Each structure stands twice: as structure tokens, then as C-alpha cells.
Amino acid sequence: MKRIAITTGDPAGIGPEITAKAIRFLKFNKDIIFIVYGKLNKTSEGNPVKKIAGISKANSPENIYWIEIDNNQIEPGKPTAQSGILAYEILSRCADDLNSGELDAVVTAPVCKEAIRYTYPDFTGHTEFFAARSNTRNVIMSFWGPYFNLSLLSTHIAVSNVSKYLRSSSLESKFKLIDQETKKIIKHPKIAMLAVNPHAGENGAFGDDDEYIASILNKLKEENINIDGPFPADTFFATKATSYDMIISAYHDQGLIPFKMISAEEGVNVTLGLPYIRTSVDHGTAYDIVGKDIASEKSLLQAIRFAVKMITKKEDNENPNYNIFAEYYDKYMEHVEYKNWVHLILSHYNKICCKSPERTLELACGTANVSSLLVKRGLNVDASDLSPEMLRIASRKPFAPNLRLMGMTDDLPGNKYDLVILLFDSLNYLHKINEVDILLNNVYHTLTAKGIFIFDITTPKNCESNFDGFINIEQINGDTFIHQSDFEASNHTQVTNLTIFKKKGFQYTKYNETHKQKIFAVNELLDHIRATDLKIKGIYRIGSQDNLIDHNPKILESNFSRLFFILEK
């Protein structure tokens, strides 16, 4: 079992907020335990957070653990010597556990170097701190993003000292470290070095730093370490950046200006060379927005995912659906009359039960467009989804329900809900009929006496008429969105491919998602429903109050695009 620490950074900055947001719907991994160090903004929902006194108590991957290190006298948004002391204490406590071997990785939220230096004047940054505490002499600050990856030969030093620093005896070892560490993440990487001076020195006209660097790179080629360059930095990012897996910058701002310009919220800071993994956000403490609940956790989430990837040595592809698509979902679905869906649900419930539900659960809630309308009507609503990205969008909506990261077939509490809903053909994402059985059984046990379960399905008619050979291309939020669908009648499967081209700066990045839905026969679903203790109260279609329960199932699925099933416990 591996352990990953998350330090919340400066207690007066946005670290406590973005950490709380990041862990709220953080997907658990059976092989990894997450422990938060520092101050944490509490949330009433999402993943369970268990406060512990020390690392030895963190023993289950089904909890987020929290070692609280805080001072109630620190004022949000205002860095002081006291906030610096606490930020340093958080790092020190974590460093002790890293050095003892109790932790395998650390993900850091931002600190204020100035606030820490009030008390610890030698502090220059996370990179140097962890290097010193682990007695590591050679480390590299690197940045990994969707457009290009970057390593820095020098970190937090004055520009006037860069030339002298690059003449140090450690330069060759730094190149070797970058090559070695990059190969741990990317097989056979292409690596490029940026020149220090304009036009790569122009044969000595602007200094001989680049000629010296070129001599080191030529020497390394004899050891099969191939680093191209030095390249003039002023044209490199416009012409060559996409051709390389790792770009080496001579000094801090040379590479970080273009990196942060196009990789904001998506970049990850990784310290190469430490005896453990250390990743971080690529932004600062943002004191100006502290307490406004608008700070984005995206970069911290990227840093956590990158640490998980480095520890497990594999990508997390278990649930790729509604990952990138999540940010476009509401715009793409804005044609849906959600109020009509809410009316349909409540009218049928009220007709059967002659009252409003006291407690409602929506499974596969997506961005909670239906649930939030139910909350707006004054109902007590819990909602769950398997996509953390969809839940994060849902959490920012007015009248957001109580949210939880959970799949359709996960266990549910007994005798809790008067109404359970599963909408927008989410049931079709269950690919095996035994998964439907598990769902029905779980819903039965979570319903109160006479509780109601309402779900809908898409039918073969809908697939054949509307989505077989379907292609749609449109611009959403300035990005190109391509929707392609086909109905595979032979195996009753609807396959949807979503291709998204995101533009940022001069770069385009392509993302793909494939959604597969099982198109169940109505007769098959009815047989499995009847095998439970749930009673079928009705089958309905949109736009009609006629109960179709006595109609031939074959006629139903060949004449109507969507069917609603209403079941009672």
C-alpha cells in the first residue's frame, strides 16, 4: 500500500480551499492512501475525511486522512510571519514522514516564500527545501503539461547569476538527471535545450555560454544521452516545441512564461531526483481571491493524478467517460427542457403517493441539472455520479444537492429514500444484465416502504432513427467538438465517439472519449424487474400520461424513442 501526502500550503492562501475541493470527489485507489497535512476547509459531503494524530493511523484507502496543523489566529488572505511559520511547520512534519519512509509521495499546495523567510531566511522554495531535508544534492524543477514538458537547469536565482551558475561543475550531472528521470515517465524521449543568449549567442557575438553548453551536450552523446540544441529561445516555442518530449530551460522565467501562458490549471510541477515523488501546483497563493470560493482546484488535481501515475506506473483509464466532455456537457445539452423532466417525475410520484418525497436520490446525476431543480423546489436531495469532473461542475451550481462520488451499482443505505431516479438513459451504461439486477436490488433496499424508483431507457428506435451514422460538428466555448454515433444492431450497442480539439495559445490538443450504451430489449428488462420484489406501476413516454404497461414490449421499443419505468417497493 502506497501513501501520498497532500500539504495545504500557506494557511492564509487558497491551499486549504483547493485541497478541500480536490479531495471532495477524489477517486479512491485500492492501492493508495491519501493523507492531508495542514489547514483544511471542511465540506459536509463527498469523500469521508478522518482526522488522525499521526501517519501510523492512516491504514485504509477508503478514507481521506487529515493531520491538522493550524492556528486560529491566522487571517485568510493576509500573509504574516505567523502564517509563514505554520506553512514551514506543515512542510517539516511531512518531510519527517517522507524521510522515515512512511510516505511515498507528496503533493504540495502553494506557499508564500516571503512569509516563510520572515522566520527562515534561507528558504527559497519547495524544491530546495525537500532537497535539503532529504540530503539530495542534485535535483531538477520540472513542469509537465498537455502542450509541452519543461525542465529548469537553474531555479530560484537572480538572472545576473545564471551565466556563472551554468559554468558550474554540476551542469553535466543535471543533464544526466533530466535524461534519466524523463525516461522513467516517457520511453525514448526527444529532449531539447534552449539557448541562454539571443540567437544562441550568434557564434560568440553575445557571449559564449551556448558554445560551452553545446560542448557538454556533444560529450554526453558519447554516453548515448542525446539532447538537441541549444536552440534560440525566441523562435523555439513557435516552431519546434511540439517536436520534443522535454524542453530544458536555462533559467526560471525563460521556459515558465510560455508554459504558464498555455498550461494554466493543467500543468504539474515535479521535482526530479528526490528519493520520493514530489509534485505540485503550478500557481501561487492567490491571496486576492481567498474566501471567495472561486479558487480552482484543477492544477492540484492534476498534481495528485500525476503522483498516482508515477507511483502506480499506469494510466487511470477505468472511467474515461465524462472526463473532458464534462466541461462541455451543459452547453451541449442546453436544448433539454429539464423543468419538464422534473414535472414528469414529481407528477407521477404525487399521483401514486399523494405527497412529495421527503428524501430523494438521483443516481448518475451528471451535472445535477434535475437534482438542483428538485432542491430549488425545497426537496431534500442526494445525488451521485461516477465522474468526479461532472460532480465538480454540479457542486458549483445554485441549489446543488448533496453530492457523492459513486457508481450506479455501488451499495446504498437501507430504507432511506422515498424516491430514487435514474435519468437520461444512464441505465444503458450498464453493459450486462446482471449489473441491472444489482442496481434493482440496491434500489429496492434503499427505498422506504412504498418508495418509488423512476428510470428511463433509450430504445432501438431512438438509436436507429436519430443516432445511427450521426455526425455533428460545432464550436463550444471556442473549441471544436465532434460527435459521431453508430448503432451496432448485431450486439445491441450504441457507440458514441466524442473528439474535442482544445485551443490554447498556439497549440491544439486532441481529446477522445468513447461512450458505449447497451440497448436492452424491453421484454428482457421487464423479466428482470418481475424477478425482484419491485412492482411495475407503469411505463410512459414523453408527452403523454397514457400508461403503456399493457402494450406489447416489441411495439413499445419500435415505436417510442424513450421509455420511463415507474416501480414501487
Rounded to an integer, the average pLDDT of 115-122 is: 95
State the Cα–Cα distance between residues 541 and 564, nearest whole angstrom: 6
Residue 179 confidence (pLDDT): 95
Query: CA-to-CA distance for 363 and 368, rounded, in angstroms?
Result: 10
Question: Please, which pLDDT band fits residue 57 given cuts at 50, 70 and 90?
Answer: very high
Angle between helices 388-395 and 15-24 (to 10 degrees): 130
Q: Is the pLDDT assigned to residue 486 strictly greater than 90?
A: yes
Residue 372 has pLDDT above 90, yes or no: yes
Report residue 564: phi and psi, to 5°: -110, 130
pLDDT at 317: 46
What does the pLDDT look like over 523-544, one tens digit per residue? 999 999 999 999 999 999 887 8
Q: In whole angstroms, what is the distance from residue 163 CA to residue 165 CA?
A: 5
pLDDT cut 90: percent of the chain above it: 72
For the chain, the average pLDDT equals 91
Cis peptide before 230 (omega within 30 of 0): yes
117, pLDDT greater than 60: yes
Nearest alpha-carbon partner for 5 in 77, 152, 103? 103
pLDDT of residue 506 exceeding 90, the answer is no
Question: Rounded to the nearest 10 degrees, what angle do helices 369-376 and 338-353 cross at?
Answer: 60
Determine what percent of the chain is predicted with pLDDT higher than 70. Answer: 97
Query: 62-75, pLDDT tens digit by residue?
Result: 999 999 999 888 99
For 246-293, write each residue's pLDDT tens digit: 999 998 999 899 998 888 778 899 999 999 999 999 888 999 999 898
Of the pLDDT bands very low, low, confident and very high (cuts 50, 70, 90), residue 51 is very high
Query: Given this model, what pLDDT does residue 492 score?
Result: 92
**Interval 180-202 mean pLDDT:** 88
Average pLDDT estimate for 313-332? 74
Q: Which domains does the chain have, with CATH numbers?
A: 1-136+274-318 (3.40.718.10), 148-267 (3.40.718.10), 326-462+519-568 (3.40.50.150), 471-517 (2.20.25.110)
Does residue 327 have a pLDDT over 50? yes
Q: What is the pLDDT of residue 205?
A: 66
Q: What is the pLDDT of residues 195-232, one digit of tens each?
A: 988 877 677 667 788 899 999 999 999 999 999 989 99
Instruction: Note every long-range contact of 132-139, with CB atoms under 8 Å and residues 24 or more positions apart, other chains counting.
Output: 133/92, 133/95, 133/98, 133/99, 134/95, 134/98, 134/99, 134/274, 134/275, 134/276, 136/273, 136/274, 136/275, 138/170, 138/173, 138/174, 138/177, 138/273, 139/177, 139/271, 139/272, 139/273, 139/274
- pLDDT, residue 263, reads 80
